[in-house]
Amino acid sequence: MRSLLLVVGAIVLLTSMGGAMAAASGELKDIDVDQSNEARQRGAEIVMSTCMLCHSLKYVKFMDLSDIGMDKEQILDMLDDQKIEDRMMSLTPIEVREESYGKLPPDLSLMAIARKKGPDYIYTLLTDYYYREDGETDNHLFPGIKMPDALAYADAETDADLADVEAQASDVVSFLVWTADPNADERKRLGVYVIIYLIILTVLLYLVKKRVWRQVH
């Protein structure tokens, strides 16, 4: 019993230390990801109109957007030369993108799981731009980043502007969390059925057991 208490105590201590250390090292803003299709759709529009100037999302096809509730007309409206069965590739040629920023903008499809605490990371990155004294923008989370202030966070002057950019960043995260794991909704739905099935099975087995033992007595 005493050793059990010691082990439990050690675990509690270690986990609380982990929490304190994480808080000290990460200046990440903590967000609740809005998993609604409305938020994902708003995010998709921002990603397509803004981020895809530089970034691709090679693991997603435009027609996959129907899985977040967009109908075909809506998707076609957002396309230029691309076809609906194409992958979501930036229309800016790869050399131009690489040359303009001295670095190829990374693919965004899996970004929400590629970075530690991905959703918080992306949100913070987009809302951490500021003007340095020399008039250039920089980023607190990623000093010296080659990416410009895509959502113009540093230019936001009023509280309403700020809230608007933050809402956009949050919608972008909702979309990128979906692109990184498009089957999450389906899995959750299935999980609920599996649990209901297991509960029913447990009750049935319990009743069977009672019946069998009644005969034994």
Q: Is 26 in the site for ligand HEC (CB under 6 A)?
A: no
Contact between 154 and ligand HEC per CB under 6 A: no
- Residue (of 153, 160, 157) closest to 139 by Cα position: 153
* 113 or 186: CB nearest ligand HEC: 113
Long-range contacts of 69-72 (CB under 8 A, 24+ apart): 69/37, 69/40, 69/41, 70/41, 70/44
Q: φ and ψ at 43, to 5 degrees?
A: -65, -40
Are 104 and 98 in contact by the 8 Å Cβ rule? The answer is yes
Residue 50 in contact with ligand HEC, rule: CB under 6 A: yes
| 110 is a site residue for ligand HEC (CB under 6 A) | no
**Smaller CB distance to ligand HEC: residue 60 or 126?**
126
CA distance 78 to 93: 19
- 115, exposed or middle or buried, with CB in 10 Å at 0-12, 13-18, 19+? middle
Nearer to ligand HEC among residue 71 and residue 155 (C-beta): 155
From 125, 165, 177, 180, residue interacting with ligand HEC (rule: CB under 6 A): 125
Q: Rule CB under 6 A: is residue 33 a binding residue for ligand HEC?
A: no
Nearest approach, Cβ of residue 147 and ligand HEC (Å) = 3
By the rule CB under 6 A, 55 interacts with ligand HEC: yes
Angle at Cα 108 formed by Cα 107 and Cα 113, nearest 5°? 115
- Say how many residues touch ligand HEC, by CB under 6 A: 23
- Smallest distance from ligand HEC to CB 180, Å: 11
Q: How deeply is 73 buried, as exposed, middle or buried, from its count of CB atoms within 10 A (0-12, 13-18, 19+)? A: exposed
Question: Least Å distance between CB 121 and ligand HEC?
Answer: 7
d(CA 76, CA 62) in angstroms, rounded, equals: 9
Where does this chain bind ligand HEC (CB under 6 A)? 50-51, 53-55, 101, 103, 105-106, 108, 111, 115, 122, 125-126, 142, 145-148, 150-151, 172
